[in-house]
A and B are shown apart, each in its own frame.
Chain A
Amino acid sequence: MAKTSLSRLFTSLSEHSIAKLSFTSSRSESVNRSGYNSVTRFVCFSAQETQLIREERSNEGDREAAKENLESVNKEEDEGEDGDHVNKETGEVGGPKGPEPTRYGDWERNGRCSDF
């Protein structure tokens, strides 16, 4: 199953912001910042977070910051009536956060496959 453009957007954003922060990583990709200004509300919010985090510039903090960044991105998805997570693409209530479990055909959660 193909990732939707929205999730791809989140992923690419994460990559960009994390690449800036991961001093220990030797695999940083070049960041294209020209797209930042033309993006949606979600992306802008996260970009602001990224600005704050980058100012701290701590080696220790980069991984935590990456996590925070991802969490803030996830929080942007709507909360349902009873606080259940609602998936923006599929409308699923209380379902798994993150990438669609069946995107590559099998059923996976956090890397572990349980059905195929």
Chain B
Amino acid sequence: MRFMLLFSRQGKLRLQKWYVPLGDQEKRRLGRELVQTILGRKAKMCSFLEWRDLKVVYKRYASLYFCCAIEEQDNELITLEVIHRYVELLDKYFGSVCELDIIFNFEKAYFILDEFLLGGEAQETSKKSVLKAIEQADQLQENIDFQMRLFPAPS
């Protein structure tokens, strides 16, 4: 996978994960144009499109578009499954996830994504394992937070 974008129906970016090295300007431009292209598509259209020289797979869940740009040899259908798996993870984590959850807890959305995909490929195919790992990482974080509150670092 080259990159993944999450954006709302108004075109506001909620999450962007880039696995290819591009400059900031370039990323913004690419993102904007792709978002416009996808938003311009009608409801029942195909989930796959060829855009520039990329293969793009996207799916809409409620008010959020999940969009991935994949390599030439990648399987489009399995990418749809990857997207679906990510949504399921978010759903399990936040409990009936909605767009607001992702807006206000964007860093957690990233952490979950990073526990599921690594370097653009799926690292764990078991939903249970991913959720467990995140839980434990969160626990670790909480402990440290707790410690820091009790024993603030010397200023």
The finding on whether chains A and B are genuine partners in a shared complex, rather than unrelated, reads: no
A binding-site residues for B, Cβ under 8 Å:
none
